[in-house]
Chain A
Amino acid sequence: MKTATRLYFGASALALASAACGASAPTPELMTARNVYSQARSSEASQLNPRGLHDAHKALSAAERAHADDAGSPAERHYAYIATRKSELAIAQASEALALKEQQRAEQDYKAGLERRSEQMAQESSQYSQQLTQTQTQLQASGEELKAREQKVAELKAAADRAQAQLRQMEAIREEEGRMIISLSGGVLFETAGAQLSGRAQTQLATVAQALAAYTDRNIVIEGHTDATGSDSTNQDLSQRRADAVRSYLESHGVPSERLRSVGRGESEPIASNENAEGRANNRRVEVIVEPAQQPRTSSASQATPDPSAASTQAEDAAVATPPDARPRTSSRQK
């Protein structure tokens, strides 16, 4: 249809032009009319405004006829003027139609863009919602874990308090210069002259190990002591082995080895007279000393044998500290 319309307008224009050839030269108005009509034909008007283009063609035909009838006449000029305006009108109408189409297309694109954006925002919203739920779940889990840990700490503290209370009940615990000293009777812990822990010792040391768990930042010294029965070297060796036995027990019951040190003091530090059985029984003991808080010991120092010079100094200290009536020894006493 459009092609047919174009052919029709094209043929008509040629016919009009050829008709004009035989006559005089066209007026400037007619020249303009032909020119503008040609522009209209090659514009979007041929597709969007065939009716307007047809009107322009009719007007141009009238101008061409007037020119053929009487070249240069006022009628030719008049109809050419009208034809020019009709062609311009056809172009303007087509431009308006094109603008309306563009508006329509832009509105559709805008609507599609809005829909895409809406979908995108819904998707983002869903993602944020999921992340929020995840975070809330994690927070809840962290809160529960924190509660569980707090409860565990409280339980441990309560257990340590109970153990300490038990020790105090045994009247075997005292404090000196920031150190806590737990004194355990050798007669209860060991068989006579031996370094093997007795059954009762296990029960007593279990309580001690439980109490020591509360002092995770303290170093612990285990000192073995004997009475004055037997030779110094025998007593020194026996006290060391007994201190080592207690140390091993504590290690195996959760007290960190790097905080433990065992020392044999032999008979050098009596706390009572070795002249009677009761005094010697008090001197046969193992002391667990919880030192004031400091840096942990290295493993190489954990089992260090006491420095002989230090031992002699300690012996001297003990000699000074021990009353004269507590120093005499008897050869036939039990250890």
Chain B
Amino acid sequence: MHHIRERVALLVLGLTAAACGGAQLNQARVAEVQSSVVAAEAVGANDQPRAALHLQLARDEMAEARRLADDGDGDGAALLLERARVDAELAMQLAKTEQEQEKARQAWQKIQDLQKEQR
């Protein structure tokens, strides 16, 4: 958890420095997106195809948002940042859902194994 905070802080600093020459990005939003990306990675989003797709979209949109901000297009950057946020959030949720569904499958498998033992 501490490691994640450090990464987010570094990212914020980097974005702030980059923003010096162009439009300003909403740093709270940037931090929020980055947190969601890290959290999605932590729950295994890279291992689940649909979650991995949205995680990649989030990364690309973040990069595009930075580029637009650098080019002085603050509004466009803000829109892309919002897209990145929902994609990262969806990636994390998809990975979590997959995890819980797998746990449910294992729980039912345990019951089936128990029933086999009883026969």
- Chain A: residues with CB nearer than 8 A to chain B? 74, 78, 81-82, 85-86, 88-89, 92-93, 95-96, 99-100, 102-103, 106-107, 109-110, 113-114, 116-117, 120
CA gap between A109 and B118 in the complex, in Å: 14
Pairwise interchain contact B100-A92, C-beta atoms closer than 8 A: no
* Inter-chain contacts of B114 with A (CB < 8 A): 110, 113-114, 117
Whether A96 contacts B107 in the complex (CB less than 8 A), given A85-B86, A85-B87, A113-B115, comes out as: no
Could you write out 18 A-B pairs with CB less than 8 Å apart? A74-B79, A78-B79, A85-B54, A85-B83, A89-B86, A89-B93, A92-B94, A95-B97, A96-B93, A96-B97, A99-B104, A100-B100, A100-B104, A103-B104, A106-B111, A110-B110, A113-B111, A117-B114
Pairwise interchain contact B118-A120, C-beta atoms closer than 8 A: yes
* Inter-chain contacts of B79 with A (CB < 8 A): 74, 78
- Chain B: residues with CB nearer than 8 A to chain A? 54, 79, 82-83, 86-87, 89-90, 93-94, 96-97, 100-101, 103-104, 107-108, 110-111, 114-115, 117-118
CA gap between A93 and B111 in the complex, in Å: 26
Whether A106 contacts B107 in the complex (CB less than 8 A), given A78-B79, A96-B96, comes out as: yes
**8 A-B pairs with the lowest CB-CB distances in the bound complex, closest first:** A106-B107, A99-B100, A85-B86, A102-B104, A96-B97, A92-B93, A99-B101, A99-B104
Pairwise interchain contact A103-B90, C-beta atoms closer than 8 A: no
Q: Please tell me which one of the listed residues B90, B96, B103, B110 contacts residue A88 in the complex, with CB atoms under 8 A apart.
A: B90
**Measured between C-beta atoms, what is the minimum distance from A283 to chain B in Å?**
90
B76 nearest CB neighbor, chain A only: A74
B83 nearest CB neighbor, chain A only: A81
**Of A93, A96, A116, most B-chain CB atoms within 10 Å:** A96
Whether A92 contacts B104 in the complex (CB less than 8 A), given A78-B79, A78-B83, comes out as: no
Pairwise interchain contact B97-A99, C-beta atoms closer than 8 A: yes
Pairwise interchain contact B93-A93, C-beta atoms closer than 8 A: yes
CA gap between A114 and B86 in the complex, in Å: 44
Interface SS, B side: helix
CA gap between A64 and B103 in the complex, in Å: 39
Pairwise interchain contact B118-A92, C-beta atoms closer than 8 A: no
CA gap between A92 and B100 in the complex, in Å: 11
* Inter-chain contacts of B87 with A (CB < 8 A): 85
Pairwise interchain contact A106-B97, C-beta atoms closer than 8 A: no
B75 nearest CB neighbor, chain A only: A74
Whether A82 contacts B107 in the complex (CB less than 8 A), given A113-B115, A117-B114, comes out as: no
**Measured between C-beta atoms, what is the minimum distance from B118 to chain A in Å?**
6
A96 nearest CB neighbor, chain B only: B97
Pairwise interchain contact A89-B111, C-beta atoms closer than 8 A: no
**Measured between C-beta atoms, what is the minimum distance from A263 to chain B in Å?**
77
CA gap between A286 and B103 in the complex, in Å: 102
CA gap between A100 and B103 in the complex, in Å: 8
Besides A89-B90, A99-B100, 10 other A-B contacts (C-beta < 8 A): A82-B82, A85-B87, A85-B90, A92-B93, A92-B97, A93-B97, A99-B103, A103-B100, A106-B104, A110-B107
